[in-house]
């Protein structure tokens, strides 16, 4: 073999930091914290404090490979932890504070975290658990001395004191690029959470991938606000891609659900691009409508984590002149796998076709191979109609779970995402369902996602779920469960008739149940396993559909 004669420098998160320091030192990071509603500083200051963190770890004898946990919202201190921990060779274990306490206990014990950095609001959760957290030596509260809460947490210290006396430079180690950099547990709609252990190499490649023009199209002139939490798959990779590009970063702290704060941040800081799950966008649209406001600064948004309802695309387009990009991914994929940016010529399509195209989850990123297969693992055609198990392969996709013997790749190295999808001849992938959520009526598939999206487009519906319920004739039929808006009194028949002409007749749910709330996972997804248990004995009315 004739080897190429090119340099081979490791792909490290440290290189992103060094590059940003040289090229974008003065670019701003603005964040909302409990102790300061508008903290602002520069990349240079952020990375100096990351060096202080690394020095503090060294003084405590933290070793490379040790896990250090965070239980925190999106703010500048969390950003410093991303770099201070990973670049010193340790593993930044981001924990979702919305998990049940038993799950937080499980994953801290499983990861054997040595230190836990915690936002003041989550201190009480850890106080109750700390007796059972055997690996944790001390807790660092993410605030300054003035705002430090009274706490019984062992060896508790406030963040500013933890780093305060340390030097602002650090001799960052030249790590192997496959070194573990961060750890995130999937929230587990089934079973115990599983740890996905990211590497420096995968993180840097993913940052390149998501920045491309047909993906997030990030540029130095952008101002980016990830509303998606930094505890959920590294805020979709944004805290790495943005310093690489040199864009301004706005971190909204605990205010992801506060439309007024988000809007104010967007307008005053000049946010051009923002990312969040559909629930956040629906809440913001509602706030803007009620307050009679228009999003002036925002140019484009990314919606992912769950299927994007048509109303988000339409309302942002018509009321705010904001373009909506739908994206798909999962924790196991760092997380971005597909992103929806239209191809040349698409603008010529009639409106309804254009909207349908925009609502697909998107095209696979360069770096992610996708295929759909049948039950015998045969590849299925990309015809936009054939449904199959969606499988992926690539450099930022996990090959095994942390401390697990479970084989998760097939013989050819493909990872089964658990999603069912179609792919059209142009490469646009559309998720039909999670494989376990599909409704199989008389042997044929009904997409619960499509029914839910149709239901949510009814003005009286706040949230909707569709599950399969046992049926004598068809084996399974769809049951619709709806949370109506507070003021909306939707009638039973009116709700079911809403589907007529919008989906094929035999897809129309057999019945609807109105409830005041739906169960959610810690990442805000509807917990269908719980609904299936709750409605396992549900008797559907006799149906002739199909
Ligand atoms: P969890 O912690 O709940 O597993 P993930 O973010 O890893 O969180 O969940 C990944 C799953 O979320 C995907 O496999 C898919 O089912 C769903 N998902 C993500 N994005 C979308 C999307 N745009 N449309 C539909 N489903 C999506």
Point out which residues pair with 92 in neighbouring strands. 68, 182
Cα first-last separation, the chain: 60
pLDDT, the chain, mean:
94
The pLDDT assigned to 187 comes to 67
pLDDT of residue 442: 78
Active-site option among 177, 332, 450, 476: 332
Question: What integer pLDDT is reported at residue 245 of this predicted model?
Answer: 98
pLDDT band at 474 (very low <50, low <70, confident <90, very high): confident
Ligand 1 atom showing the smallest separation from residue 449 Cα: 25
The model's pLDDT over 235-282, given as tens digits with 9 standing for 90+, comes to: 999 999 999 999 999 999 999 889 999 999 999 999 999 999 888 998
Band of residue 327 on the pLDDT scale cut at 50, 70, 90: very high
List 464's β-bridge partners, or say none. 482
pLDDT value at 471 more than 90: no
* All structural domains of the chain with their residue ranges: 13-26+37-200, 439-534
**How does pLDDT run across 357-407, given as a tens digit for each residue?**
999 999 999 999 999 999 899 999 999 999 999 999 999 999 999 999 999
State pTM to two decimals: 0.89
Question: Among 72-81, 438-447, 478-487, where is mean pLDDT lowest?
Answer: 438-447
* 474 among known catalytic residues: no
pLDDT band at 526 (very low <50, low <70, confident <90, very high): confident
73-82 mean pLDDT: 98
CA distance 390 to 295: 36
pLDDT for 546: 52
Distance 385 CA to ligand 1 centre (A): 21
Per-residue pLDDT tens for 475-489?
A: 889 999 999 987 767
Rounded to the nearest 10 degrees, how much is the dihedral formed by the CA atoms of 478, 479, 485, 486? 180
Q: Whose CA is nearest to atom 5 of ligand 1?
A: 330
| Measured CA distances, 434 to 211, 457, 514, 522 (Å) | 28, 21, 23, 18
**To test ligand 1's pocket by mutation, which of 302, 419, 448 has the most ligand atoms within 8 angstroms of CB?**
419
Q: Which fold has domain 439-534?
A: GMP Synthetase; Chain A, domain 3 (3.30.300)
Residue scoring higher pLDDT (240 or 99) = 240
**For residue 69, what pLDDT band results from cuts at 50, 70 and 90?**
very high
Taking the C-alpha atoms of residue 256 and residue 262, their distance in angstroms, rounded to an integer, is: 7
The torsion defined by the Cα of 54, 39, 242 and 119, in degrees rounded to 10, comes to 60
Locate 407 and state its tokens: 């084989």
Residues with CB under 6 A from ligand 1: 186-187, 189, 304-307, 326-328, 330-331, 335, 361, 417-419, 431, 434, 521, 523, 525
Task: For 118-151, write each residue's pLDDT tens digit.
Answer: 999 999 999 999 999 999 999 999 999 999 999 9
- Kindly state the average pLDDT of the residues 530-545: 81
Residue 337's pLDDT is what? Answer: 98
Residue 223 neighbours by CB under 8 Å, 6+ apart: 247, 248, 249, 250, 269, 270, 271, 272, 273, 297
- The answer on pLDDT for 300 being more than 70 is yes
Looking at residue 544, what is its pLDDT?
54
pLDDT value for 437: 85
* 445 among known catalytic residues: yes
Q: Is 109 a catalytic residue?
A: no
Domain boundaries 13-26+37-200, corresponding CATH code = 3.40.50.12780
Give pLDDT, residue 198.
98
Q: Report the pLDDT value the prediction gives residue 545, as an integer from 0 to 100.
A: 55
The 3-state DSSP class for residue 305 equals coil
For the question of residue 452 being annotated catalytic, the response is no
The alpha-carbon radius of gyration of the chain (Å, integer) is 24
pLDDT in tens, 15-28: 999 999 999 999 99
Q: Would you say how long the chain is, in residues?
A: 546
State pLDDT tens for residues 159-199.
Answer: 999 999 999 999 999 999 999 999 999 865 556 789 999 99
């Amino acid at each position: 073999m004739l080897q190429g004669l090119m340099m081979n420098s490791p792909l490290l998160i440290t290189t992103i930091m060094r590059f940003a320091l040289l090229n974008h030192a003065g670019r701003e990071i603005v964040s909302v914290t409990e102790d300061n509603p508008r903290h602002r500083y520069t990349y240079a200051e952020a990375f100096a404090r990351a060096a202080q963190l690394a020095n503090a770890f060294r003084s405590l004898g933290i070793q490379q490979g040790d896990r250090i946990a965070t239980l925190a919202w999106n703010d500048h201190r969390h950003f410093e932890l991303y770099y201070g921990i990973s670049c010193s060779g340790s593993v930044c274990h981001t924990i979702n504070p919305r998990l049940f306490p038993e799950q937080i206990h499980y994953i801290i014990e499983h990861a054997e975290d040595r230190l836990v950095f915690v936002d003041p609001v989550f201190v009480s959760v850890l106080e109750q658990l700390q007796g059972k957290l055997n690996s944790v030596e001390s807790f660092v509260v993410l605030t300054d001395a003035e705002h430090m809460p009274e706490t019984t947490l062992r060896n508790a210290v406030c963040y500013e004191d933890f780093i305060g006396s340390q030097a602002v430079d650090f001799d960052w180690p030249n790590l192997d690029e496959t070194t573990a950099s961060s750890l995130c547990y999937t929230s587990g709609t089934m079973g115990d959470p599983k740890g996905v252990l990211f590497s420096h190499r995968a993180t840097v490649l993913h940052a390149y991938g998501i920045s491309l023009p047909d993906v997030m199209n990030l540029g130095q002139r952008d101002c980016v606000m990830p509303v998606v939490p930094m505890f959920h798959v590294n805020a979709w990779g944004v805290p790495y891609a943005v310093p690489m590009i040199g864009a301004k970063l706005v971190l909204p702290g605990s205010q992801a659900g506060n439309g007024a704060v988000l809007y104010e941040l967007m307008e005053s800081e000049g946010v051009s691009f923002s990312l969040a799950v559909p629930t956040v966008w629906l809440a913001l649209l509602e706030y803007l409508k009620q307050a009679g406001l228009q999003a002036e600064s925002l140019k484009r948004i990314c919606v992912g984590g769950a299927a994007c309802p048509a109303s988000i695309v339409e309302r942002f387009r018509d009321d705010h002149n904001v373009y909506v990009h739908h994206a798909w991914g999962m924790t196991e994929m760092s997380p971005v796998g597909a992103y929806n940016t239209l191809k040349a010529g698409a603008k010529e399509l009639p409106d309804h076709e254009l909207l349908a195209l925009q609502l697909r989850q998107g095209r696979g990123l360069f770096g992610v191979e996708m295929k759909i297969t049948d039950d015998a693992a045969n590849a299925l055609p990309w015809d936009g109609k054939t449904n199959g198990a969606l499988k992926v392969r690539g450099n930022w996709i996990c090959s095994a779970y942390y401390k697990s013997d479970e084989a998760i790749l097939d013989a050819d190295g493909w990872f089964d995402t658990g999603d069912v999808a179609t792919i059209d001849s142009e490469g646009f992938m559309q998720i039909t369902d999670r494989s376990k959520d599909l409704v199989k009526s008389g042997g044929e598939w009904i997409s619960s996602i499509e029914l839910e999206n149709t239901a949510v487009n009814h003005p009286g519906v706040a949230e909707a779920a569709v599950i399969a319920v046992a049926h004598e004739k068809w084996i399974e039929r769809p049951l619709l469960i709806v949370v109506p808006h507070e003021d909306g009194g939707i009638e039973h028949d009116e709700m079911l008739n809403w589907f007529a002409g919008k989906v094929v007749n035999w897809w129309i749910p057999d019945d609807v149940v109105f409830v005041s709330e739906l169960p959610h996972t810690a990442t805000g997804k509807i917990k269908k396993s719980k609904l299936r248990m709750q409605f396992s004995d549900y008797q559907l009315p006799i149906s002739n559909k199909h």
